[in-house]
């Protein structure tokens, strides 16, 4: 899929991995709609990027707001979902069992929210005319290496990301006849706003645990892989770890 001239939606596109992807797609010539809950950051990024960029407030768990974001894209060909949240709690502990509501919330935002963006984006793409190769669009989801190497306290997060991994191949098979590809990126430890709140010694230790390169991943590296997936027509139904060969220990 050619990026230049294509319409793109980036859910969770106002910060972190999503912001880097919004910037990279725009720089490559895509018309980008940034969908996010953070209106201040979303409007600021769209204003900075200028022509070819717009912001739509959207909650990935709400069909109406995601549909509005999808509808705002001029000629949707590319959909990237980076929206997500985390929660740390053990399955059972001295205070009792894992709280049910936080588990449900993480599943709702990370897994159901990703599916919501995927289904609505794919429906819009399927109604469009294909390009010369027969392709109509590309959907990229964001999992995590926690889907494979979940640590102590990550049960809700790992379950949500494992669900995203699990739906990648069936989604790709579902949409193959319509010329829509589906891939998932599973990042390792990346330098995002979430980690930005940690003390430098903790951040340095996280980076040192990565075999090579021994540093935190950069959001721009996630964005570069997302753009490659868009442009490489043979990438479909695949989950790609982006982690510097990191395999997370139990804690």
- Is 15 among the domain residues? yes
Asked if 124 and 167 touch (Cβ cutoff 8 Å), the reply is: no
Mean pLDDT, to the nearest integer, of 210-229? Answer: 97
Residue 251's pLDDT is: 86
Residue 28's pLDDT is: 98
Residue 250's pLDDT is: 92
Mean pLDDT, to the nearest integer, of 44-62? Answer: 98
- Is 229 among the domain residues? yes
| Residues assigned a catalytic role | 157
Mean pLDDT, to the nearest integer, of 216-232? Answer: 98
Residue 196's pLDDT is: 74
Q: What is the mean pLDDT of the chain?
A: 96
Asked if 155 and 97 touch (Cβ cutoff 8 Å), the reply is: no
Residues 39, 56: Cα–Cα separation, whole Å:
8
Whether the per-residue pLDDT at 198 is higher than 80: the answer is no
> Buried (b) or exposed (e) across 25-59, using 16+ Cβ within 10 A?
bbebebbbbbbbebeebbbebbeebeebbbbbbbb
Whether the per-residue pLDDT at 6 is higher than 80: the answer is yes
Domain limits for position 19: 7-190+219-242
- Is 53 among the domain residues? yes
- Is 74 among the domain residues? yes
Whether the per-residue pLDDT at 154 is higher than 90: the answer is yes
- Is 29 among the domain residues? yes
Count of structural domains within the chain: 1
- Is 97 among the domain residues? yes
Whether the per-residue pLDDT at 194 is higher than 90: the answer is no
- Is 250 among the domain residues? no
Residues 251, 6: Cα–Cα separation, whole Å:
42
Mean pLDDT, to the nearest integer, of 109-114? Answer: 98
- Is 214 among the domain residues? no
> What CATH code is carried by the domain that includes residue 184?
3.40.50.720
């Amino acid at each position: 899929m050619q990026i230049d001239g294509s319409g793109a939606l980036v859910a969770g596109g106002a910060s972190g991995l999503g912001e880097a992807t919004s910037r990279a797609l725009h720089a490559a010539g895509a018309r980008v709609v940034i969908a996010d809950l953070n209106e201040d950051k979303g409007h600021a990024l769209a204003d900075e990027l200028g022509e070819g960029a717009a912001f739509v407030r959207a909650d990935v768990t709400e069909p109406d707001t995601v549909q509005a974001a999808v509808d705002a894209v001029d000629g949707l060909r590319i959909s990237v979902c980076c929206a997500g949240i985390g929660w740390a709690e053990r399955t059972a502990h001295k205070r009792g069992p894992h709280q049910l509501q936080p588990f449900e919330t993480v599943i709702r935002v990370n897994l159901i929210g990703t599916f919501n963006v995927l289904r609505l984006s794919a429906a819009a793409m399927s109604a469009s005319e294909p390009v010369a190769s027969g392709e109509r669009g590309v959907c990229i989801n964001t999992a995590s290496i926690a889907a494979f190497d979940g640590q102590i306290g990550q049960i809700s997060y790992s379950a949500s990301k494992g669900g995203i991994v699990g739906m990648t191949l069936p989604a790709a098979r579902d949409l193959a006849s319509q010329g829509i590809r589906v891939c998932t990126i599973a990042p390792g430890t990346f330098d995002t706003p979430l980690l930005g709140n940690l003390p430098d010694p903790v951040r340095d230790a996280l980076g040192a645990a990565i075999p090579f390169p021994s540093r935190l991943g950069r959001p721009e590296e996630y964005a570069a892989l997302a753009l490659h997936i868009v442009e490489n027509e043979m990438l479909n139904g695949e989950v790609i770890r982006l982690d510097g060969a990191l395999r997370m220990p139990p804690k």
